[in-house]
A and B are shown apart, each in its own frame.
Chain A
Amino acid sequence: MFTMTYCKFTYYNCLALFIIVLTGCDSSETLSLSKKSIIYCSEGAPESFNPQTVTSGTTIDATANQLYNRLIEFNPTDNSVVPAIAKSWHVTRDGKMVTFYLRKDIEFHQTAYFTPTRNLNADDVLFSFNRMLDENHLYYPVSGGKYPFFQNAQLVDLIDNIEKINEYTIRFQLSHSDSSFLANIGGNSAVILSKEYADELVELNTMQEIDILPIGTGPFKFKQYSSGAFIRYEPHANYWRGKSDLKQLVFDITPRDTGRLTKLLAGECDIIAYPIAHEKIKQHPNLTLESVTSFNVGYFGFNTSKPPFNDPLVRKAISYAINKQAILETVYTGQAEIADGLIPNSSWAYDSTITSQEYSITKAQALLAEAGYSNGFSMNLWAMPVQRAYNPDAVTMAKLIQADLQKIGVDVEIVFDYEWSTFLRKISEGEHQSVLLGWSADHPDPDNFFSTLLSCASAVTGSNRTFWCNEEFDQLIQSALQTNNINSRKAYYSKALKLINEEVPLIPIAHSKRYQARANNINGTLLRSIGGIDFNGVTKN
């Protein structure tokens, strides 16, 4: 049995081998690969790879500016409209006819699943818009037939006809003048898809792939998506604004806030979305914390189609019982503004004379008694499970609201353990009684807040999570759109804001900044005050 001593010998050999493997990891070699690649730790998985079909910020971040371009875009500094696919445009004096002149040098992505034979032309633009506008279009029902951004903005009613003038000219015929039209066309969801690719998919009978294996004109092309884990992009070699320096771009989907920060600190991510522990990042010598004022609102919404919140008195009572100041200090650590109305004060439609309900337990109790709930009731509160700029920690906010409402005898059960896309689906089906959510604007026009969050049309598409449908309110926001006079628009919006404060379908809580943290060797700006992030022009040293 001399084998035992032999075993002992190999035992230590194995141990030594293990240690060699460990210490033999020379990180300088790995650098050759990581030097030209960026790993971005995002906060959630996209619902689709086509921003036409969704409005969630996570999806917009992963798709809109990376994979696609729009006819026109917004200048990141002053939010004015600038040329993109359309090199110029012309609006007739009555505002009813808009003509876009397209660039001729824009190429679509070449990938393993599609090879383009021609550059972008008017057919692609026509296809991209008709898919959303024309219910009889072959591609309309693919992926569910919901185009929330376009339907909320009621562009279906607005756009009478889209006409191809020649290969590189396209004309929109509007039913009436609409002051937010250009802003909507520049919005994240108005991306241009490839008609050639769509036709090829029709032949292959795999039409649903248009939103799963995307083809666009943006700076990056799609390489691989591992569901819920990561997205891999490669640079688009023939990008019309110039090819990116990067070798690859990876979105590492990391829903846990601490997980993202840990990865940044351990050097496993170059950039992270929505960082927590700002002080820790500021103290770190190799990391930078950035922020941008963003057009958003975090709100506490009621499902007005279900009792007890079908009664405006109950909703108003609750609005008196919420201590917004405490929420601001605890959840936003003071780095936001209390929201008095739906729109932030950086918007021109902001009206400082409108104030929301003050914090008053006695008023809340009186209203509750008036509504017939003097003994209180119990309700559920759905807190969004991911971090967004407008709500960095919904669960903590929910806990504070739970404690606040306890004081007026309302028992709150917090629902928070769903994954983000399941959460959104259940909310749009109206399973909740009340919800903590928010909205980041797609474009600078204030209409984007009103139509998307509270109009009757959006109650149908599901982006109005309160299911509140008020004719007077709809009338007001329609009237605001039909004029170009900024003062009369402002007057209409003020009335609408007052109506919201009276009826309280939702309680606006705060307007906040959007934060991001990155390693110091990453250059370029990718935060935008409107819409999603943009990796075009980002480099790594």
Chain B
Amino acid sequence: MGLLKTNMLIFTLRRFSLFFFTMWLLTILSFSLSFLFPGEQLINLTGEINASPEQLAVLANEYQQQANLLTQYFSYVSHLFHGDMGYSMTSHLPIMTEIINRLPATVELTCVALLVAMFFGIPIGFCAAIYHRKAPDNFILAIAMIGYSIPVFWLGILAILVFSVQLGWLPSAGQISLLFEIKHVTGLQLVDILLSDSEYKWQAFQDATRHLILPVIVVALAPATIFMRLARTAMLEVLDTHYIKAAKAKGLTFSQIIYRHAMRNAVIKVIRDVGLQFAHLITIAMVTEVIFSWPGIGRWLIESIYQRDYTAIQGGLIVLSTFIFIVHIIIDFVYAALNPLAREPNHGT
């Protein structure tokens, strides 16, 4: 047991050192962007497009512009640590405020979509593996092929046409009907509704759930098909191992083998690759946010490029990437918790 604990500790430390290293690279990247973007570097960094020369001089001092690059970088990072990412060039609000307003909507959409994709994709993939090279397998593979070939913006439009306009089942835009006034507490709409004391609480909750369904399905479809394929491959590999053959030899029934022995090991193999898919899922979510007018950070970033709001793009890059890393780390921990082998130092990278 003691060994296990040290292993877990070492694993945790390794993860965190990797996280800090990655964050360091990310801040360097974001800092260098302020030089690469058109316009003046100081203005790109602070977003103060209407500042007078005197105000700019104060800012230059604050960001240690007269010193060497390294000092400038450190002063930038210290601003970041204080939650100061400058001001948006268009709305003139602090980037931090804008992000706090929008990030939770994206977190809500992407996390629900990730769970839905796993919840449906993995069992279907197992199903395909069990019927390997039979009709259900081929059918599932064909669906999977279409699922990850379909352009997401087209899928979103078709979903709105069918489910919102023609059938009238689900709303087409936004996070909740604007009639409900929900106070912004955590930003996660469903949580905020439960925290609010509105007399229409239950209606609001239902309304928000209905708004969530279509975008979640659109975001989840492509990752779900990828999980299907991953789960199928993993299950096939597991079924090919010696211990399964031994179990068969012992006379266990097929369903006993699947449920008791194969499933857990196959799930572990899939979980390892979930993290890699998350960045892809975010890209899909950014486009989906545009189609469904979802008030998240992806849509905000795409609008920022239309308005050449460079400060917003820098801030969005840092926050969105950090979010992805955090999800990576969480998934790594889940993987390590399920799979003791992963906690051993030589496997821990």
Q: Which of A229, A230, A262, A417 is in CB contact (< 8 Å) with B172? A: A262
The CA of A259 and the CA of B261, in the complex, are separated in Å by 50
Given contacts A248-B179, A266-B172, A422 and B90 within 8 Å (CB-CB) = yes
Query: Can you name 29 A-B pairs with beta carbons within 8 Å?
Result: A1-B261, A4-B259, A4-B263, A21-B209, A22-B213, A29-B203, A30-B203, A33-B179, A39-B178, A39-B179, A224-B181, A228-B91, A229-B295, A232-B181, A254-B293, A259-B173, A262-B160, A262-B164, A262-B172, A262-B173, A265-B165, A266-B160, A266-B165, A267-B168, A268-B173, A268-B177, A417-B306, A419-B90, A422-B307
Q: Does B248 contact A (CB under 8 A)?
A: no
Bound complex: CA of A22 vs CA of B91, how far in Å? 37
- In residues 239-282 of chain B, which contact A (Cβ within 8 Å)? 259-261, 263-264
A267 to B332, CA, bound (A): 44
B-contact bits for A11-51, CB 8 A (1 contact / 0 none)? 10010000001101110011001100101000000000000
Q: Looking at the complex, which one of A24, A25, A254, A419 makes contact with B303 (CB distance below 8 Å)?
A: A419
CB distance from A225 to the nearest CB of B (A): 12
Q: Is the CB of B179 within 8 A of A37?
A: yes
Which residue, A4, A21, A250, has most C-beta atoms of chain B within 10 A? A4
Count contacts on A: residues with CB < 8 A to the other chain. 39
A377 nearest CB across to chain B (Å) = 25
For residue B176, give the distance in angstroms from its CB to the closest CB of chain A: 11
Could you tell me the distance between the alpha carbons of A319 and B177 in the complex, rounded to whole angstroms? 48
B194 proximal to A (CB < 8 A)? no
B200 touches A33 (CB 8 A): yes
CB contact between A25 and one of B91, B93, B179, B206 (< 8 Å): that residue: B206
* Alpha-carbon distance A266/B160, docked complex (angstroms): 9
Give the residues from 203 to 233 in chain B that come closer than 8 angstroms, CB to CB, to chain A.
203, 206-207, 209-210, 213
Residues of B within 8 A of A257 (CB): none
Report chain A residues within 8 Å CB of B261: 1
- Measured between beta carbons, the chain B residues less than 8 angstroms from A232 are 178, 181
Most A CB within 10 A of own CB, among B164, B179, B180: B179
User: 17 new A-B pairs (CB below 8 Å) besides A29-B203, A39-B178, A268-B177?
Assistant: A4-B264, A11-B123, A22-B209, A25-B207, A33-B200, A34-B179, A39-B179, A227-B93, A230-B178, A259-B173, A265-B165, A268-B172, A268-B173, A268-B174, A419-B303, A422-B306, A422-B307
User: Is A263 on the interface with B (CB-CB < 8 A)?
Assistant: yes
Is B171 engaged at the interface, CB distance under 8 Å to the other chain? yes
Contact with B along A224-266 (1 / 0, CB 8 A): 1001111010000000000000001010101000010011011
CA distance A268 to B160 in the complex (A): 13
Q: Are B171 and A268 in contact (CB under 8 A)?
A: yes
* Beta-carbon nearest neighbor of B258 in chain A: A4
In the bound complex, residues from chain A placing their C-beta under 8 Å from that of B203 are: 29-30, 33
Residues in A with CB closer than 8 Å to B178 are 39, 230, 232, 250, 252
Contact of A8 with B by CB under 8 A: yes
Give A270 Cβ to nearest chain B Cβ, in Å. Answer: 11
Given A4-B263, A252-B178, also A418-B213 (CB < 8 A): no
Residues on A with C-beta less than 8 A from B259 are: 1, 4-5, 8
Q: In the complex, A268→B178 CA distance in Å?
A: 9
Which residues of chain A are within 8 angstroms of B171 by Cβ–Cβ distance?
A: 266, 268
Instruction: Using CB atoms and an 8 Å cutoff, list the residues of chain A in contact with chain B.
Output: 1, 4-5, 8, 11, 14, 21-22, 24-26, 29-30, 33-34, 37, 39, 224, 227-230, 232, 248, 250, 252, 254, 259, 262-263, 265-268, 417-419, 421-422
In the bound complex, what is the Cα–Cα distance between A419 and B209 (angstroms)?
A: 30
Minimum CB–CB distance for A366 against chain B, Å = 40
A residues within 8 A CB of B168?
266-267
- Please name all residues of chain A whose beta carbon is closer than 8 Å to the beta carbon of B181 when the two chains form the complex: 224, 232
Q: What's the minimum C-beta distance from B340 to chain A, rounded to whole angstroms?
A: 16
The smallest C-beta distance from B79 to any residue of chain A, in angstroms, reads 24
Complex Cα spacing A421 to B90, Å: 9
Closest 5 CB pairs of A and B: A4-B259, A266-B164, A1-B260, A25-B206, A250-B178
Q: Is the CB of A259 within 8 A of B303?
A: no
Chain B residues, Cβ within 8 Å of A267: 168
Decide if B295 touches A227 in the complex (CB within 8 Å).
no
How many angstroms between the C-alpha atoms of A376 and B307 in the bound complex? 31
Question: Do residues A254 and B173 form an inter-chain contact, with CB atoms below 8 A?
Answer: yes
* Chain B proximity of A247: nearest CB distance (Å): 9
Question: Given the complex, which residues of A lie within 8 Å of B206, measured CB to CB?
Answer: 21, 24-26, 30
Q: Which of A25, A417, A422 contacts B210, CB < 8 Å?
A: A25
CA distance A268 to B164 in the complex (A): 10
How far is it, in angstroms, between the C-alpha of A265 and the C-alpha of B180 when the chains are bound? Answer: 20
Residue in B119, B200, B203, B209 with the greatest tally of chain A CB atoms within 10 Å:
B203
A445 CB to closest chain B CB (Å) equals 35
**What separation, in Å, do the CA atoms of A227 and B263 have in the docked complex?**
49
| Residues in A whose Cβ lies below 8 Å from that of B306 | 417-419, 422
The answer to whether A4 touches B260 (Cβ under 8 A) is: yes
Task: Give min CB distance, B224 to chain A, whole Å.
Answer: 15
Distance of B174 from chain A, by nearest CB (Å): 8
Residue of B nearest to A223 (CB): B181
Closest beta carbon of chain B to A470's beta carbon, Å: 32
How far, in whole Å, are A187 and B91 apart by their CA atoms in the complex?
29
Question: Chain B nearest CB: distance from A439 CB in Å?
Answer: 24
Assess A227 versus B91: contact at CB under 8 Å? Given A34-B179, A254-B293, A263-B172: yes
Question: Smallest CB-CB separation from B263: which chain A residue?
Answer: A4
B40 to chain A, nearest CB (A): 17
> A254 to chain B: which residues have CB within 8 Å?
173, 293
Are A419 and B172 in contact (CB-based, < 8 A)?
no
For A37, the closest partner residue in chain B by CB is B179
A250–B180 Cα distance when bound, in Å, is 11
Which partner residue on chain B sits nearest A224 by CB separation?
B181
Please give, as numbers and ranges, the residues of chain B lying within 8 Å of A11 by CB-CB distance.
Answer: 123
Question: Considering the chains assembled together, what is the distance between the CA atoms of A26 and B203 in angstroms?
Answer: 8
Interface string of B179-199 (1 = CB under 8 A from A): 111000000000000000000
In the assembled complex, the Cα of A173 lies from the Cα of B106 at a distance in Å of: 58
The complex places the Cα of A230 from the Cα of B306 at a distance, in Å, of 20
Residues of B within 8 A of A30 (CB): 177, 200, 203, 206-207
For the complex, give the distance between the alpha carbons of A522 and B119 in Å: 44
Q: In whole angstroms, what is the CA distance A4 to B258 when docked?
A: 10
A118 to chain B, nearest CB (A): 30
A417 to B307 Cα, complex, angstroms: 8
The 0/1 profile, CB within 8 Å of A marked 1, for residues 110-129 of chain B is 00000000010001000000
Q: What is the minimal beta-carbon distance from B165 to any residue of chain A, in angstroms?
A: 5
Interface string of B293-319 (1 = CB under 8 A from A): 101000000010011000000000000
Among the listed B165, B213, B264, B303, which residue makes an inter-chain contact with A262, where contact means beta carbons less than 8 Å apart?
A: B165
